């Protein structure tokens, strides 16, 4: 075989291989669906004063949102991973797709860590991280059809359906208050910061609840890692 004929066949084979490679890449790109925008998990119901919502990087890209903290206004959507903050003399109200609602007072911070809700499912779950400030919330469908958890600096509350008020004090103490509907009486318990727990509480992983707070404990579990 002459060198010229061999060279022609080599060029032809290379062209065929290149065309096949391009066809495979094109087919793969067509078959792979484009990622759509992430669905919001709730919205801002009202704002008084100055409040912001900070979106995560993935949400910014997928939902075409502005980066960094954005001044919150009524009707704004909130997404998984968002961080909600209020300034001095400010308030914000949020409502989620399962009906859960939060009223957040001034100088507060809340992170939306987990939200899985399907009206037809019995395995729904949420995790909201209350880091500082004062919060009042009304549990929605997730608390009745799954696992609603609210994390605080001293532990995690498992909510089974009630309207708690959570206040995180400057010294790290967390105060829980709720209206016990059975007797229309306010019940209250204070939980000290984790490093100050007594030995018996540390071993059980649960803050001690006084006898007068047993009615409250029926509606709220407080534990670490629940």
Answer yes or no: is pLDDT of 223 > 90.
Answer: no
Answer yes or no: is pLDDT of 76 > 70.
Answer: yes
The residue-averaged pLDDT of 54-72 equals 78
What pLDDT is stored for residue 170 in this prediction?
84
Which one is predicted more confidently, 182 or 67? Answer: 67
Beta bridge partners of 159: 148, 220
Q: What is the mean pLDDT of the chain?
A: 74
Q: Torsion over CA of 134, 87, 104 and 197, rounded to 10 degrees?
A: -30
pLDDT digits (tens, 9 = 90+) for 12-56: 444 433 344 333 333 333 333 333 347 899 999 999 999 999 988
Which one is predicted more confidently, 190 or 124? Answer: 124
- Which class is 42-223 in CATH? mainly beta
Contact (CB, 8 A) for 27 and 21: no
pLDDT digits (tens, 9 = 90+) for 84-103: 999 999 999 999 999 999 99
Q: Which regions of the chain does DSSP assign to beta strands (E)?
A: 42-48, 51-54, 69-71, 77-78, 83-86, 91-96, 101-104, 109-116, 124-138, 146-152, 155-159, 164-168, 174-180, 185-191, 220-223
Contact (CB, 8 A) for 195 and 162: no
Q: Where are the domains positioned within the chain?
A: 1-32, 42-223
Q: Taking the CB of residue 62, how many other CB atoms lie within 10 A of it?
A: 15
The residue-averaged pLDDT of 157-161 equals 86
């Amino acid at each position: 075989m002459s060198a010229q004929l061999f060279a022609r066949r080599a060029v032809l084979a290379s062209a065929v291989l290149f065309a096949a490679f391009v066809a495979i890449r094109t087919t793969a790109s067509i078959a792979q669906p484009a990622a759509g925008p992430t669905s919001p998990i709730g919205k801002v119901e009202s704002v008084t004063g100055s409040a912001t919502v900070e979106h995560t990087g993935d949400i910014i890209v997928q939902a075409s949102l502005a980066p960094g903290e954005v001044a919150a206004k009524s009707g704004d959507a909130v997404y998984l991973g968002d961080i909600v903050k209020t300034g001095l003399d400010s308030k914000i109200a949020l409502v989620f797709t399962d009906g859960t609602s939060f009223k957040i007072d001034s100088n507060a911070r809340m992170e939306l860590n987990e939200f899985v809700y399907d009206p037809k499912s019995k395995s729904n779950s949420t995790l909201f991280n209350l880091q500082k400030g004062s919060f009042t919330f009304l549990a929605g469908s997730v608390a009745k059809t799954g696992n609603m958890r609210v994390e605080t600096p001293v532990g995690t509350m498992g909510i089974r359906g009630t309207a708690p008020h959570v206040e995180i004090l400057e010294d790290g103490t967390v105060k829980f208050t709720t209206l016990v509907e059975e007797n229309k009486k306010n019940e209250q318990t204070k939980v000290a910061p984790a490093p100050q727990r007594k030995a018996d509480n540390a071993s059980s992983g649960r803050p001690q609840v006084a006898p007068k707070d047993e009615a409250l404990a029926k509606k709220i579990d407080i534990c670490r890692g629940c």
